[in-house]
């Protein structure tokens, strides 16, 4: 099957598709914890202004969670990949958590952990630390009331008002003393969200790491793990080797996840990744191979997904959600390429065309005929026929 796709510099180039890879679903547990941060499916028939108010197709959204669970992956709910802070507000995030937690009860073995933050606060320099604490308390309590497990997300409000690293310690110490179960802390880098630059009170990541590690040491009993999303494997490994006993590293490095999950003689990272939304079948098969001790097969499966992931998460990284939803559309998990916040327009048609090529190279276009039909329709919308 062939399709003509735009290329950098202009013009069209004919591209021949490969046969898709059929990835078997796992039959045994993985030896790594693995969660995919899942996207939301917009409701295309809504009359709401997508830049102002989210309209969500709840049935399709929850169906996608079942897709991830079917491949043995857990779901990291209401996180950055669901467009939290880029189209998805707190009331809709809480409804998403409620529906996902309810669905997990009916799916044997399903794991779901949900993001609690402060995004119902307007980030302002005149916010008080007490207001930030109260906002975190509100969201954590709401998720725990639903029976959910908490992922403690980074706070734009805290980043805006904190005057020192000690302010971060005050907030996290207070929240971690109150949570019912150990949480996952998420340190989201400024490449994902520019408003989070200087998180932990330090612009230098290694200095920030020192502050974060002190928080983890003081509260180790209430922390399952730390997910860092800095897209720098050396920083992740350095922090991983300094974690207090009992606290694990969850990689958020969508550039280098394969080698970080495999690990080295001194340890490995667990996985909590946005790219797992797009590559769930391959990720599952690779993790199954790793569980069997077949590292050669593990890398053979994941190697072609790494260029795809690096392309989806290329700068401006915060627009990676567009590629994630595009992949779901190409593979028939939703009937349209529409996103909350109108974010389907955040990437160029040239970017999406290269994504199409890389997804095919990784064997991740499950139905090439459908994928080509949908890609052709998108090209036509852009005046490319």
Does residue 46 fall inside a structural domain? yes
Does residue 372 fall inside a structural domain? yes
Q: Which residues, 6 or more positions from 297, have their beta carbon under 8 angstroms from its beta carbon?
A: 286, 289
Q: For residue 245, what pLDDT is reported?
A: 97
Does residue 198 fall inside a structural domain? yes
What average pLDDT score do residues 228-240 get?
98
Q: For residue 311, what pLDDT is reported?
A: 98
Confidence of residue 95 (pLDDT cuts 50, 70, 90): very high
Does residue 302 fall inside a structural domain? yes
Q: Give whole-number Cα distances, 50 to 121, 238, 319, 339, in Å.
A: 21, 41, 16, 8
Confidence of residue 295 (pLDDT cuts 50, 70, 90): very high
- Residue with the larger pLDDT of the pair 385 and 142: 142
Q: Which residues, 6 or more positions from 345, have their beta carbon under 8 angstroms from its beta carbon?
A: 322
Total number of domains in the chain:
1
SS (H, E, C) 168-226: HHHHHHHHHHHCCCCEEEEEECCCCCHHHCCHHHCCCHHHHHHHHHHHHHHCHHHEEEE
Does residue 261 fall inside a structural domain? yes
Q: Is the pLDDT of residue 247 over 90?
A: yes
Question: Across the chain, what does the average pLDDT equal?
Answer: 97
What average pLDDT score do residues 165-184 get?
98
pLDDT, tens only, 29-65:
999 999 999 999 999 999 999 889 999 999 999 999 9
What residue numbers bound the domain in which 341 lies? 32-381
* Measured distance CA(58)–CA(78) in Å, rounded: 13
DSSP 323-353: HHHHHHHHTTSSS----GGGGGGSS-HHHHH
What average pLDDT score do residues 104-113 get?
97
What average pLDDT score do residues 12-16 get?
97
Does residue 351 fall inside a structural domain? yes
Report the share of the chain in percent with pLDDT over 90: 98
Does residue 13 fall inside a structural domain? no
Q: For residue 385, what pLDDT is reported?
A: 75
Predicted model pTM: 0.97
Q: Which CATH number is 279's domain given? A: 3.20.20.70
What average pLDDT score do residues 287-298 get?
98
Does residue 10 fall inside a structural domain? no
What average pLDDT score do residues 291-317 get?
98
């Amino acid at each position: 099957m062939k399709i003509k796709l735009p290329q950098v510099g202009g013009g069209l180039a004919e591209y021949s598709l490969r046969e898709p890879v059929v990835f078997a679903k796992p039959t045994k547990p993985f030896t790594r914890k693995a969660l995919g941060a899942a996207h939301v499916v917009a409701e295309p028939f809504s009359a709401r202004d997508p830049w102002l108010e989210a309209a969500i197709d709840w049935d399709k959204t929850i169906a996608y969670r079942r897709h991830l669970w079917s491949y043995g992956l857990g779901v990291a709910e209401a996180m950055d990949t669901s467009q939290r802070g880029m189209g998805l507000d707190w009331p809709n995030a809480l409804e998403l958590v409620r529906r996902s937690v309810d669905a997990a009860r009916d799916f044997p073995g399903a794991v779901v952990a949900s993001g609690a933050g402060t995004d119902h606060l307007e980030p302002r320099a005149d916010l008080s630390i007490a207001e930030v604490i109260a906002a975190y308390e509100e969201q954590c309590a709401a998720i725990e009331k639903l029976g959910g497990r908490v992922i403690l997300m980074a706070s734009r409000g805290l980043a805006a008002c904190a005057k020192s690293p000690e302010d971060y310690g005050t907030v996290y110490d207070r929240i971690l003393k109150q949570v019912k179960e150990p949480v996952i802390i998420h340190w989201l880098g400024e490449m994902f969200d520019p408003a989070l630059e200087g998180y932990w009170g330090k612009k230098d990541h290694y200095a920030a790491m020192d502050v974060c590690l002190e928080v983890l040491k003081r509260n180790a009993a209430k922390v399952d793990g730390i997910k860092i999303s800095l897209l720098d494997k050396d920083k992740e490994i350095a922090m991983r080797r300094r974690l207090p006993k009992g606290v694990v590293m969850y990689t958020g490095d969508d550039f280098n996840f394969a080698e970080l999950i495999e690990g080295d003689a001194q340890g490995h990272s667990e996985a909590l990744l946005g790219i797992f939304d797009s590559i769930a079948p391959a990720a599952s098969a690779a993790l199954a191979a790793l569980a069997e001790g077949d590292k050669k097969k593990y890398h053979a499966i994941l190697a072609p997904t790494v260029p795809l992931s690096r392309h989806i998460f290329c700068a401006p990284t915060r627009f990676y959600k567009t590629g994630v939803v595009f992949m779901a559309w190409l593979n028939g998990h939703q009937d349209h390429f529409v996103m909350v916040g109108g974010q389907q327009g955040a990437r160029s048609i040239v970017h999406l065309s290269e994504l199409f090529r890389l997804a095919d190279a990784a064997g991740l276009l499950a139905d090439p005929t459908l994928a080509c039909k949908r890609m052709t329709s998108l090209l036509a919308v852009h005046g490319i026929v």
